[in-house]
Structure 1
């Protein structure tokens, strides 16, 4: 049952010290919506376009892989709190990655599909994985655009949005992303196995919800700081970044 599974995940997260900046976010027992969603990516395009991305196992790594610190971010494309983070704390991470201070490892989960029905998270995760192959900056720009859009999910966030055509329309706003290969990957769910593996990695991580942020393997304290760029920057500094 989903509730039992969540309790096991939360218990594991507590014992592992992973309950931190995910205290306010999406879980199996929490709605996927948030009052504030991401800012339009046009405001961040110059920074985001600088950021290389690479697939490393079940993670998407953004920034210089030689950076001295690793920030791991667990997200679900359907999670409104993840969208809120993308437009706040996520902008801080983009600046840090562009400066070479951190590399950001994204674990793209899709657990909200089980909770709310449909396969919107999995389809969006597949498209995010496909965007990595389009070249530097495409993943970061597409992720920002995707979280700013969250189409047709309904007032309660439970609709099954992110159809292939919706994802391709979002991709239209990212220069250099649309191609025959990208479109085919989105329409045919080319990376479905990677999406399933990424969800399994999320489930096995002990993290109880999204967004969850770890710095060099340790969770940051204080839930609401995720959504305040000033407080999130301070949390990163306190963690040694």
Structure 2
């Protein structure tokens, strides 16, 4: 089966698994909590999903890891969310520097709340799955691809980037032969993690019951209460933990 054929089958499966009550989810923070999600039959009996640790992907815990410093930062994002891009562009350099200096462990939680804002192409799922594939196969390029994904973020209510364009971003991040990646092997995992985040409880904090908007960032379990553009406030928050 060709890569494009695998993509079609797995994306449809992931969307069935992730047929959640996510219409209430927003792309901005802060936002009102979304209603609890009741698992469907499909979510109760999902296809076999990846488990354990592969590369930088920690499947059972639900994150992609950068660094191994003593301070733990959890960042919940959706690839098409413009406020996630704002946070990445303004506060990302602080976090990436902390990782590089051995000060922090950055745990990326890619979610697909906003598939409905990509004109039927499930861009959030596709991009988050691609990010996961990079974490598995090319962990040394995870940060570079994550940055490319937000630097070249498409607008909401467009079709998003094509699969070929995601390959181009991977090449720009230094990944050889990105066409050999099979990102949609992880689409079901993205759907599962999105539903678990929306339902709660969260394994990363007790301060909020679930993820009701993106981005959400936590430092050692403490949730940052500011907005994506509050760069100085976030830097002070990070330093105080």
TM-score, normalised relative to structure 2: 0.69
User: Do the aligned partners of 1:53 and 1:63 also contact (CA within 8 Å) in 2?
Assistant: no
Distance 2:139 2:131 in 1: 13
What is residue 147 of structure 2 aligned with on the other side? 144
What is residue 75 of structure 2 aligned with on the other side? 73
Residue 132 (structure 1) shift: 0.9
Residue 197 (structure 1) shift: 1.6
Structure 2 unaligned segments of length 5 or more: list them. Answer: 1-20, 35-54, 201-209
Residue 114 (structure 1) shift: 3.3
What is residue 160 of structure 1 aligned with on the other side? 159
Residue 116 (structure 1) shift: 5.6
What is residue 218 of structure 1 aligned with on the other side? 222
Provide the aligned length of Structure 1 versus Structure 2.
Answer: 189
What is residue 176 of structure 1 aligned with on the other side? 175
Distance 2:107 2:211 in 1: 15
Match of 2:101 among 83, 99, 102: 99
Change (3 A) 1:227 1:178: farther
Aligned pairs for 1:7-86 (under 5 A) are 22-23=29-30, 53-57=56-60, 58-64=62-68, 67-86=69-88
Structure 1 unaligned segments of length 5 or more: list them. Answer: 10-20, 29-51
Match of 1:125 among 124, 128, 138: 128
Alpha-carbon RMSD across the aligned residues, in angstroms, is 2.7
Residue 131 (structure 1) shift: 0.5
User: Do the aligned partners of 1:134 and 1:177 also contact (CA within 8 Å) in 2?
Assistant: no
What is residue 108 of structure 1 aligned with on the other side? 110
What is residue 208 of structure 1 aligned with on the other side? 212
Residue 53 (structure 1) shift: 3.2
TM-score, normalised relative to structure 1: 0.69
Distance 2:77 2:116 in 1: 15
Residue 227 (structure 1) shift: 2.6
Distance 2:83 2:212 in 1: 14
